[in-house]
Amino acid sequence: MKAYFNDHFINNPELKLHVADLSMQRGYAIFDFLRTIKNVPLFLNDHLDRFYHSATAMHLSVKQSREELTGIIHQLIEQNEIPEAGIRIMLTGGYSADSYNPAEPNLIITCNPVKTATKEDFEKGYSVITYEHQRELPHIKSISYLTAVWLQPLLKQKKVNDVLYYNQQSITEFPRCNVFIVTKDGQLVTPVNNMLKGITRKHVLELAAEFIPVKERNITVDELMNAAEVFLTATTKKIIPVVKINDTIISNGKPGPVTAQLYRQFLVLEQSLI
Amino acid sequence: MKAYFNDHFINNPELKLHVADLSMQRGYAIFDFLRTIKNVPLFLNDHLDRFYHSATAMHLSVKQSREELTGIIHQLIEQNEIPEAGIRIMLTGGYSADSYNPAEPNLIITCNPVKTATKEDFEKGYSVITYEHQRELPHIKSISYLTAVWLQPLLKQKKVNDVLYYNQQSITEFPRCNVFIVTKDGQLVTPVNNMLKGITRKHVLELAAEFIPVKERNITVDELMNAAEVFLTATTKKIIPVVKINDTIISNGKPGPVTAQLYRQFLVLEQSLI
């Protein structure tokens, strides 16, 4: 596999950073992640918007212009020829002289085969637990997943698929996915504060606005537990119904009608792009 | 400079990890940091205690026994022959197959020249600001310093040396240092919750217990601002008086008598070890 490192293409196994890089010294780096189908990068502009936003918010500068980065990503996709690939664009704090203050960033772009959620994953849905936690600087897509990874043994022990964070009684997000609820009076609602705005979330909001009232606002844990439908969105997971939260079965344990409609429409949108 | 990587000594410039390591994918790694003087590692046992504690708490296993790690560190110090060195022992989440669940950890030990605080730094003291923030999993010495590094431009703009975190009106710690206050009725107090217990903190508590009442308990921001003396402790900074917090001058802007006595005694303790 080919990858890109700062200013040149490189073979993936050579993609190494010295441990002095601020990503390893202080966990200081941002990234973004998108998918390709048949060599078409999905929602590339949205992901580049967010990548440049994360970089600016983290006080890191990107040498490449948007046009240059777009060209590099297209070349990388063509060189690798992977039917379904995940592109990870990462920018680190660089080789810091004092192991603390950011230096010239290191840019790394990788292109690897990616597994996405299947129709079976959709039908089965997710069991999740809630957990009180607030991600640091949540509007930035940083590499900070300490609590998420640390919780993995607990999730395995509880035999659940993922963990939904809440902050003072308001749900925020999954470590790598956004959350939506359909209320019993037929509104689609999704959190807007203390979370990262996903690209799939954005397109689901646009699709939903055509056929259901949509609101971005705080959602309490109580409201979540009493929702008619709950689902999550993410780049590789697309849309997955949440059918169990802690010990509560949601939507009779099956994908609800609004979730199913959005899923069908999202697959159509995806196909329209390739 | 020589370093150590998993199971062998290596030249420092070769100390590189592939970007697939979980430290770069998800900020998942722990470390510890100690100093040497004249090839003597200071408080090595305390640092190893904490290193193994951090590893266990992060669900990461250390292949080397305590005796083996001690031997490796002594060999590394002898091979490098640096008058005052900083030893960084780091353990990462390893090359994770799914970029999320920890794999076999990578162990990296580096030995580099280190700058420590001088008598002039002590005399001058630190200006700091307070900031509401809680570090994730604070009892683990992880590489998670996102907010700390992100705040650097603000600290430069405000012309202060560091930032003191508080969590719901109780002060906790600096990003890399512990905090102590001397109350106006002559007690030495330091936080005990939601923070990392430093090795210098431990020895200062032991030294102080000989001549002043000592308590580990929560300290409110109000209590901090009304303290007779405030100081911080850390491996490279030893003891530094805090002489200004936000816009408030502490202890007339000079090192207080308790701080000065502890500083003298700490230097004596240090000399007694080499």
Can you give the pLDDT of all 274 residues of chain A as single tens digits? 999 999 999 999 999 999 999 999 999 999 999 999 999 999 999 999 999 999 999 999 999 999 999 999 999 999 999 999 999 999 999 999 999 999 999 999 999 999 999 999 999 999 999 999 999 999 999 999 999 999 999 999 999 999 999 999 999 999 999 999 999 999 999 999 999 999 999 999 999 999 999 999 999 999 999 999 999 999 999 999 999 999 999 999 999 999 999 999 999 999 999 9
A142 touches chain B (CB under 8 A): yes
According to DSSP, the β-strands at A229-234 and A178-182 are antiparallel
Confidence of residue B221 (pLDDT cuts 50, 70, 90): very high
Closest alpha carbon within chain A to B88:
A25
The model's pTM: 0.97
Give me the residues paired with residue A33 across strands. A88
pLDDT of residue A146: 97
Per the prediction, chain B carries an average pLDDT of: 98
Give the position of tokens 């949509």.
A214
Spatial separation of the C-alpha atoms in residues A164 and A126, rounded to whole Å: 11
Beta-carbon contacts of B62 under 8 Å, excluding residues fewer than 6 positions away, are B51, B52, B55, B69, B91, B105, B107
Give SS3 for A122. Answer: helix
3-state SS record for B180-236: EEECCCCCEEECCCCCCCCHHHHHHHHHHCCCCCEEECCCEHHHHHCCCEEEEEECC
A92 touches chain B (CB under 8 A): yes
The count of CB pairs under 8 A between chains A and B is 121
Vertex B264 angle, CA B261 and B270, to 5°? 135
Judge: domain A2-113, CATH 3.30.70.1060. no
What single letter denotes the amino acid at residue B74? H
Quick one: fold of B119-273?
D-amino Acid Aminotransferase; Chain A, domain 2 (3.20.10)
Domain A119-273 in the same topology as domain A2-113: no
A59 touches chain B (CB under 8 A): yes
Question: Taking each helix axis from N to C terminus, what angle separates B44-57 and B199-208, rounded to the nearest 10 degrees?
Answer: 130
Spatial separation of the C-alpha atoms in residues B57 and B46, rounded to whole Å: 16
Q: Do B152 and A28 touch (CB under 8 A)?
A: no
Pick among B145, B147, B156 to test the A interface (most A CBs inside 10 A): B145
Count of C-beta atoms within a 10 Å radius of residue A194: 18
pLDDT of residue B200: 98
Confidence of residue B169 (pLDDT cuts 50, 70, 90): very high
Contacts of A137 in chain B (CB under 8 A): 146-147, 150
B112 touches chain A (CB under 8 A): no
ipTM score of complex: 0.97
- Assigned token pair, B41: 């590692």
Vertex A234 angle, CA A232 and A239, to 5°? 50
Count of C-beta atoms within a 10 Å radius of residue B155: 17
Contacts of B101 in chain A (CB under 8 A): 149, 152
The burial class, CB within 10 Å (0-12 / 13-18 / 19+), for A132 is exposed
Confidence of residue B96 (pLDDT cuts 50, 70, 90): very high
Confidence of residue B45 (pLDDT cuts 50, 70, 90): very high
Give SS3 for A157. Answer: helix
Count of C-beta atoms within a 10 Å radius of residue A209: 11
Count of C-beta atoms within a 10 Å radius of residue A75: 13
Give SS3 for B155. Answer: helix
Mean pLDDT score, B87-110? 97
Nearest to A26 among B93, B137, B143 (CB): B143
Q: Where are the domains of chain B?
A: 2-113, 119-273
Mean pLDDT score, B58-81? 98
Count of C-beta atoms within a 10 Å radius of residue B272: 7
A29 touches chain B (CB under 8 A): yes
